Structure 1
Amino acid sequence: MTIKQLIDIRGRVQTGVFSCPVETINYLDYDLRTMMDRPRSRLARKWRFNQFQFVSVMSEHWVFGLAIVDLKLVSNGFFYLYDFASGEMLEQTFMQPLGWGTVIEPRPEDGVASFRSKQVNLRIIPGPEGRSVSVTAGEAIRAMFSLHDDRDPLRLACPAGYNGWVFTRKSAGLPVTGEIRWGDRIWRCDDHTRGTVDWSCGFMRRETAWNWACLAGQLDDGTSVGLNLATGVNESGMTENALWLNGRCIKLDLSRFEFARYDQSAPWRVTTSDGRVDLHFVPSGVRKERLNALVLASNFRQYAGTFEGFVVDDDGKKIPIAGLRGLMEDHFARW
């Protein structure tokens, strides 16, 4: 079974957690209105709709992240690699006015995402049960890898603010193959490397703030583990919190983040209200940006680091998490 379109014939968004794929996010059919209930034009619906896709790859020795973001007034493509041995954060960020060279097809399962400029070419291409990612930046940077076995993602749509909504499709703990070349160095995926995919879009709150955590890795007994936790978004009667064990998605309850915002070296703690997650996170490297352009603003910190603690499976068994790599994020956005 497939949901053909997220917006129904009366312009209403379907909300909830979806057990089947959503084929098309037909956002231009949404009955978007002002705060005073005046219908917005088709042009306004086009310009108010935001989309992004983020992919990460996590190894024992390094973490890689890549995003393609379309905010209509501006688009953004970035990627980075944090090397735990050297403590080096390598990163590249590119922006395009009016979304030039940026395409994110509004199809969560099979839509292509790309960002292209004179300096860089980024592509995320869905395939059977996975996604292929490629990066070309100048003569020095090449990356190509594939995420596999994406069979049980979390899909949900939630109300956002007075008259908006957000749709997201997330997966974590996916096996990854491929390599990243940066200058004369090469980082290769191995049998323990795992990744995540975050495909999100919607008419988001004008000002949004959130915390987010994800991890992906393989335990000593061969179990693949993935985790996605967030607070501040997608909490209107449901959450985007989920645990993946060997590719199977387990829905989680509300999450709580404890951290010192202005101390980059301080550890974090994240838990869930159902008692199924209790993790500490020690940051090692950080990618950050601050942008205040009146209409648009972003105060963004994304940390690469190490998780310790436990998660609980459906049988109530505590699964120790020791030394798995992942990400933590603290973000304010005005869009």
Structure 2
Amino acid sequence: MAARDQLINAQGQPTYGIFPEGVRELNYLDFDLRSPLDRKRSQLAKRFGFNQFQFVSFICDELIVGLAIVDLKLVSNAFLYLYDPENGDFEEFSFLQPLAAGTHIEPRPADGTAEFRKGANEFVIRASTTPGVRRVMVNLSKGVHIDATIDESTSYQPLAICTRAGYQGWVFTQKSAARVCNGSVRWKDREFDLQALNALAAVDWTGGFMRRETFWNWGSLSCQLRDGRRLGFNLAAGVNETGFSENALWLDDKLIKIDMVDFQFDRYHPDHAWAMRSADGIINVHFEPSGRRQDKTNALFIASNFSQYFGRYHGEIRLPDETIVLEGAWGLAEDHYARW
């Protein structure tokens, strides 16, 4: 089955559901955007109403990296954080651009480019289907450099879905985890070889006409089991779950869908453990934070209360033919409120 060429059909409506082969282009300007009282919105309103972001992580026992490019039209943001689990070193960088200056994200999840530039600081994420790779390049004036590629070849099975968002909106997201990667990260006069460290990558590509005010909880795992298999998951609650959900796990390259997930945690005690359990009984894990990247923004029409944690997962993943026990695998969790 070939990937769907465009998300918006001839009637100006998105196709909702799960796309096993993905979607080539989010032709969002063809969307028949209307107000809640059915008044047609202009092309300008569509351009400014469409939000996009791309998040990538690289995880291994020796290094955790999280980075993102976010385009909210009125403002754009890029951030990067790095954490060394062995000695506890942590450093983060964040950049804002008014009116998304120096920022461009092409609306093609599998072969588009996302770019953010501010002064001497540059973030580029470039995907290509031939060959199937996603290249991540970061160069910061403070001396941090990343040049890495993520394997998205013939065995690539991302979770690509489109769901309703509020009365008139929709969101498309494409997620993957536990992907093979290679390349280097230079940080604090050290160079990390991602392939030699058996690092694994996760990708979140999201775009749409999102709810004006929303929140989500999120969990991400990318690890290698003792028998050599790669295990990853993407878990979420509060967003992208209108008729469908973005919950899935990957065992090596096999995608396994997961039911709704309940997150239990204490927002006001960030060092306390989280519990994550799925309604189908597959996921029964807890997450122990080791640290977090936090950002609170309140700027006129836009607000954000963002906490992304890095830490260890323990518990069980119960599949029909086996139970996989997690014993301190590194991963991420997030609590996020947004008004945009």
State how far apart, in whole Å, the 1-side matches of 2:47 and 2:226 are: 48
Equivalent residue number for residue 289 of structure 1? 295
Find the residue that maps to 1:28 and give its secondary structure: helix
Residue 300 of structure 1, aligned match among 301, 306, 320: 306
Aligned match of 2:147 in 140, 144, 154?
144
- 2 CA distance for matches of 1:45 and 1:139? 37
Q: Which of 235, 243, 248 is the matching residue for 2:241?
A: 235
Following the alignment from structure 1 to structure 2, what is the Cα–Cα distance between the partners of residues 139 and 296? 28
The answer to which of 248-257 and 187-196 deviates more is 187-196
Matched, 1:129 2:132: yes
Query: Which residue of structure 1 aligns with residue 20 of structure 2?
Result: 19
CA contact (8 A) 2:222 2:231 kept: yes
Corresponding residue for residue 220 of structure 2: 214
Q: Is 1:161 the equivalent of 2:191?
A: no
Which of 180, 189, 195 aligns to 1:184? It is 189
For residue 15 of structure 2, give the secondary structure of its aligned residue in structure 1. coil
Do the aligned residues in 2 keep the contact of 1:192 with 1:217 (CA within 8 Å)?
Answer: no
- Pairing 1:99-138 to 2, within 5 Å after superposition: 99-127=100-128, 128-138=131-141
* Structure 2 residue corresponding to 1:173, chosen from 178, 185, 196: 178
For 1:48, the aligned partner's letter is: G
Correspondence list, 1:47-58, <5 A: 47-58=48-59
After superposition, what is the alpha-carbon deviation per residue over 1:61-100, rounded to whole angstroms, capped at 9, x for unaligned?
A: 2210110000000000111111112222211100111111
What CA distance in whole angstroms lies between the structure 2 residues aligned with 1:267 and 1:237? 30
Structural mapping, 1:180-329, within 5 Å: 180-189=185-194, 190=196, 192-313=198-319, 315-329=320-334
* 1:14 CA displacement: 0.4
Residues 178 and 259 of structure 1: CA distance in aligned 2, closer, same or farther (over 3 Å): same
Q: Which amino acid aligns with 2:117?
A: R
Q: Does 1:65 align with 2:66?
A: yes
**Paired letter, 2:335:** D
Question: 3-state DSSP class of the match of 1:68?
Answer: strand
Aligned to 1:92: 93
Q: Distance in 2 between matches of 1:115 and 1:271?
A: 36
Tell me the distance in 2 between the aligned counterparts of 1:55 and 1:38.
37
User: More displaced, 184-193 or 88-97?
Assistant: 184-193
Distance across 1 between alignment mates of 2:21 and 2:87: 43
CA contact (8 A) 2:178 2:252 kept: yes
Partner deviation per Cα, 1:262-285 (whole Å, 9 max, x = no partner): 101101111110000111111001
Q: 1:238 to 1:215 in 2, by over 3 A?
A: same
Q: Distance in 2 between matches of 1:87 and 1:81?
A: 10
User: After alignment, is 182-191 or 70-79 more displaced?
Assistant: 182-191
By how many angstroms is 1:139 displaced?
5.5
Deviations 1:23-81 (A, max 9, x none): 11000110111111111011001100000000000011221011000000000011111
Structure 1 counterpart of 2:25, which letter?
Answer: T
Give the letter for the 1:71 counterpart. Answer: L
Letter in 1 for 2:183: G
Runs (5+) with no aligned partner, structure 1: none
Contact 1:74 1:96 in 2 (8 A): yes
Percent identity of paired positions between Structure 1 and Structure 2: 47
Which residue identity does 2:139 align to in structure 1?
T
Distance, in Å, in 1 between the alignment partners of 2:294 and 2:120 is: 21
| Structure 1 residues 274-313: Cα deviation after superposition (integer angstroms, max 9, x where no partner) | 0001111110011000001120000000000000111133
Conserved 8 A contact 2:54-2:203: yes
Query: How many angstroms does 1:184 deviate by?
Result: 1.2
How many residue pairs align between the two structures?
Answer: 334
Deviation at 1:332, TM superposition (A): 0.2
CA distance in 2: counterparts of 1:94 and 1:107, whole angstroms:
24
The answer to whether the 8 Å contact 1:89/1:287 transfers is no
Runs of 4+ in 1 over 4 A off after TM superposition: none
TM-score after normalising by structure 2: 0.96
Please tell me the residue identity of whatever aligns with 1:254: M
- Measure, in 2, the Cα distance between the counterparts of 1:264 and 1:191: 29
The answer (yes or no) to whether the contact 2:62–2:197 under 8 Å persists in 1 is no
Counterpart for residue 34 of structure 2:
33
Whole-angstrom CA distance in 2 between matches of 1:328 and 1:139: 27
- SS of corresponding position for 2:47: helix
Uncovered stretches (5+) of structure 2, i.e. residues with no partner: none
Structure 1 residue identity aligned to 2:89: E
Offset of 1:149 from its aligned partner?
4.1
Query: How far, CA to CA, are the matches of 1:111 and 1:92 in structure 2?
Result: 24
